[in-house]
Structure 1
């Protein structure tokens, strides 16, 4: 069963800034604003950046309608007295005289940039696919796009700019776009492709690093095994050379080292020609011309 709060958040939409005109003598403080400009609204956490359009044909809005703070039903701050749905949704009304409403009025007078938001309840939802077009509110829109039909506005609310930024993943951020173009869709697709490429590059880098670590550990184990088989402790220089050999060169060198060791059981250590020390004169005939190091063995293979 879906989370009721999550379901509710799917239908909350931020609109443009709300205006709070200066007080007129003997009158309640008033407000006015455009709750919806009539075009494409994009950037929603649930409906995606392809956007949503609210069909104003037959829309139902209670008169009067409650004005809340941050969508909390217990925080009543005003009443929407008039609504104009001719191509957009313009609203106006009065603030209440309670402490919370007066606090918002005072903050607005001090320059705080409040925004208007609304909760819209669609009777049906139409998905327009890529390459298709649809006319809504006298405007032509290209898919992909989502159309809300048979709508009802259940509430209007005032949100602080800071709160909106902190919860932007749960609500629309930004104004409606009255002039949708195919370029908007292309940009969205490009951004999605770039994000996917970046994600895949990160995965490749991670796998590459893991492969390097595995290869290094494997070579360490192979060197240890070779040292044990030969009965010799390699010098740090020998170990460094062996680590730098590619897979085939190391395998070739290790194979011949083991073969040579097997033919000389009387010698528990490696022959002189496999060390870094040159024989000092009187080299026996067996040693003459033999490779002098692990690296020489690898070179001899080439």
Structure 2
């Protein structure tokens, strides 16, 4: 279990996570101290307190500064247990060995409990140096495994200690403790007791041996009689039954029954059609017909389901519905109303079609670029009313406490920003024409297109608002000289000098009380045309720029690694007012100071599909897809625009 509060790439964070371990008796140089072996981390996903999404620790970035690190109980420094002798990364896993070397009650408890069979687990303590967020719809490969966002990747961490713990979230972890060797005194006592009983045991050996021989003779005689009876029942016509009966230990009654069944005349076998019963099979059939990639299908369904679905690949929608219902339906061309009534009177088909529509809606929703998630704060509202968001104004600064010990009250100033969610949606149907055309692909493609439309609606709202640069309550545009977050002219071109000017301007923002804002830029947002230039500025250690005023610039890049580069095709799309292929932006971490906010009703950030009754004039089945969200600008101090004019 990782225990963490902060997740920025500049703030160190303590973490701890569970692992399987083994403890065994010491060998070689020291028989008094038990040894342990453990798999500290398998390289996979972890649910971690303090992180709102799963976490993966990149083992390539884990710093193991020394081989001998402390072993504790429950991460308490005073509860020492021992130390490691080796810590290593093997086959994508963090493994460790060591000694329970401390002479403490906690060390003795761990060793004794382990030898009694208690299932100890382990937890690693480390400091997080840098982490990275992988958003929804993106995939990343870490530790030889592929993971889908949203997740956090701990890119750099430093191993500090390992602790024994008694329980954890990973139900697959296990531990085994081998008992320690008894001490010399206990061993001698047992030897004396053994010598005292040897004479008594020897005296009874002869009696026991005679009894054992007699029992063996009786058993052999009984087995001979059983085999002879089986051979008589089977005769010459059922040698296969005879062999199986002898091998599997059948009695005469079971043998006679099998011979009787084999002697009956054989009737022609009925020809039957295997019909899948699992609703997931039908969903997989639809996903296959929709053209989903094999890797995506394998992430959604088991191999058994995919194998069953593959046998139905390419079937039409009429046969699909009939199989899903588990009953024969009227012919649609003759009785369309009867077909619909019979098909949708079952409990299985409406649910299967709704699940298919929902999955395809989400597939389409995840197809569209969602870069806006990196620059916007994602929030939740519980109704469609106008909501207020309050920002820091400097009224909560700590003041010195006087001699009377009285603490002053902080004041919530009236600097606030609005937010409101609205519903966006559309209807779609399994129509009479689709059913007559027997086209399963048409039904799956419609919700996918609607899912893409839902994602585009959010993207259009976010980027349209950013590029439109609307006026604020003070009468000035969001990006303006009055707000000190806009720069034009040659100084605003994306290069080393322009980035320096942007960083300085961003750092000069102040609170309403005149104090420094104290928040630095974290994200560099650029159009597609500037993506390569931005990546070079963030990744290149050396500069290769022309001289200015006959003075050579420094060869070292001062901005390498400062900001996360984000690129969007929306920024330069001419269908949006204010679009530009030259303008670029700096943003603060939206969770610290949001410039834009996207709020979802009850936190549901994906479309919902519901089955509805068809209109009187529609012969078919209708569905509706909708999503509730709102987009609003927040604090202009959280973003800076560089116009990039030549």
- Normalising by structure 2, what TM-score? 0.24
Which structure has more relative contact order (CA 8 Å, sep 6+)? It is 1
Q: What TM-score do the two structures reach when normalised by structure 1?
A: 0.49
